[in-house]
Structure 1
Amino acid sequence: MKAELHAAEGYRLGSLRRYGILDTPREADFDEVVTVASAVCATPISVVNLIDQGRQWFKAEVGLGVRETPLDSSICAHAILQPGLFIVPDTMLDHRFCDNALVVGDPHFRFYAGALLQTPEGFPLGTVCVLDFKPRELDETQKAFLRLMANQVMKLLELRRIIATEHVARVQAEELAKERETLMREGDHRLMNSLQLVQSILALQSRTASSEETKAQLDMASNRVLAIATVHKQLHLTGSLEEIEIDAFLRRLCESLKHTAPAQITAIDVTAESTKLRSDIASGMGMLVAELVANSFKYAYPPGHPGSVAVDFRRTSGGWRLEVSDEGRGLPEGFDIDQSKGFGMQVVKAFVRRLDAKLTVFSRPGRTAFEINGIQG
């Protein structure tokens, strides 16, 4: 079923266009929102979706691989007509979507949850949404997190609008650049605080989890949020909005990850050259380290068999090389990273693609290493 137009569609579209966001390039701040949303909600797809005339356009996305799709099959076009958080536990059981082309055909969406992006004047622009290929629900923490991310996206959009309208007319170029940096730093600071709050909630839930499986899932989500929060903390410590000292960043990240390690993990040894990388590259690298270190925590050493995990970063003639390794029992016989369906390995492969890098896996009893070689920086 095609969604009806908003009651004030003309005003809504005018409000959307005043933000100057449509058809702009990808940006790390928005990419991080969908990355963390997908990780916390454990969904393969997450999108910052804006409903334009005749199309839905994605400022950021994980798991789709496209920047826009026609409006006729849009679930978000229905979501912007609803207040707050719109959840469809099973699209096949909802008369609005059971004949939707994206539900009955590829990619066969079965679950949708979207938090409304709404202007201060009350006009809906789109959603921060997550999707899955199977029916499911979100818990209260995940619902609260989606609302939090929608609020964060609106703050970023408001900062854009303020910079583009109110300040350009009354300040000189040098003053504008300085004020823009202050505003962006404030937005970055708020996001960092929000991420740290979510990470603390997940860590608290992990400590009180009723089963080891639930604890492991919460620890994994906590580590993903921690990786992004650490990037933002490092941005503030270095005083840069664009580059990060990668050695200090990796050491701080691994110090934090050690708090979630099982008893048999004796250390996370970090060896890293002192160099700077773009913040978006460091962000992706942080997510890779968090995933791979957590993988070693879970599988490398059985209880009662102590061991360590190593993280090594260095510049190469063609770019950079990151390796996460352990001296544990090795990967299962016949393990193929390209065929692996585990969510953690899917996250790893997604970030390797985002970094335009190459992943190589070495494994035998006594040594397992994930090596990532990249050319950007």
Structure 2
Amino acid sequence: MKMNTSAESAPNESHRMNVVRRYAILDTPPDGAFDRVTAIAARLLGTSIAIVSIVDTDRIWFKSHHGLEAQQIPRNSGLCASAILQSGPWLVTDARHDPRTLANPLVAGEFGLQFYLGVPLHTHDGFNLGTLCVLDTQPRTVTQEQIDTLTDLASVVMDQLELRLSAMRSIAEKEAALNHSHLMAEKIDHRVMNSLHLIVSMLSIQSAQLGGSEAAKEISRAATKIFAVANVHQHINVGKAATTLDSADYLVQLCAGLSTMLGCGDQVAISVDAVPLTLASEQLSRLGLIVNELVTNALKYGASKVSVQLAPYEHQYCFTVSDNGSGLPAGFDVDKMSGLGMKVITSLVRNLGGTLSHERNANLGGTTFQILFTPMMSSRLPPI
């Protein structure tokens, strides 16, 4: 009897291949979990070869191959293509005298296959992906206990495949949720920007209607500050629009916007001394939020000079914000502060993968906050 192994021979073959693709296992790298199963199978059944196979449309691909160098064989020459047509184990004790395998190239050819036992890898919805099989070049007999052992090991392989599929689905769901949250954040940012610009336009119109009066000047100043708020908001969220940015240019623009927004005028100076480094935009967004918190807080407590610096430091980057304010209170501990501002800063530093420290500034007389962090690729950063 001729062995029937064509793709068309299996019932619901197109559905079966959809299930194979669902597990996304074909052509994946070697995996120790599957390699241990094939090693155990070969040892327990005393064979020289054990394989975890996945039957593709035109090939039989080996997820794990113990005692064999090949990674795949044509489908029409593999016994696994016949084994997946069964609901239970498929056994050939002496292939040279078995009518199912006489014409098979692995039996009749140089390889000299004589023994095969394969157990289908059966999915919960009734499809066979491939097999866990043991092979040998000598005829063999097996006991029912050995067949049951191989069947149990095939169940272990399926458990691993199901766990892998579950993990992939979980990751996909989390990525979808994250993408949705990013999309919602972008929509909110867009609406905030539109609202701020609308307010600026309304105030500008109102100022023009009032002519050169003092009220018109106050309204015009208010419009300028709101416009600056919009610019700062745009700079803080710039990470959404680019992958990497020039840190020096970004910080200069951000601090200029902050100076205008806070109405610093000639009484307050915010200086920036930053080496033009290319950083992931997510990292710059975090630094922008930190600058906003520290500068605002420094001016709130009487500082008239603020210095923002960024430069390489050994294998890291050193980012500092210094001021000439009255300094921190005695016993100040960042981790014990109850204020929202410091909690935001420590959270941002943690997301940067950096460390935060503070000390009295000898030149300005106030406080220096220092952050040491390592530059990262944007894909490695957690979301803000």
> Which of the five TM-score ranges fits, normalised by the shorter chain?
0.3 to 0.5
Structure of higher RCO (CA pairs closer than 8 Å, 6+ residues apart): 1
Give the number of the structure whose alpha-carbon radius of gyration is greater. Answer: 2
Question: What TM-score comes out, normalization by structure 2 length?
Answer: 0.44
Question: What TM-score comes out, normalization by structure 1 length?
Answer: 0.44
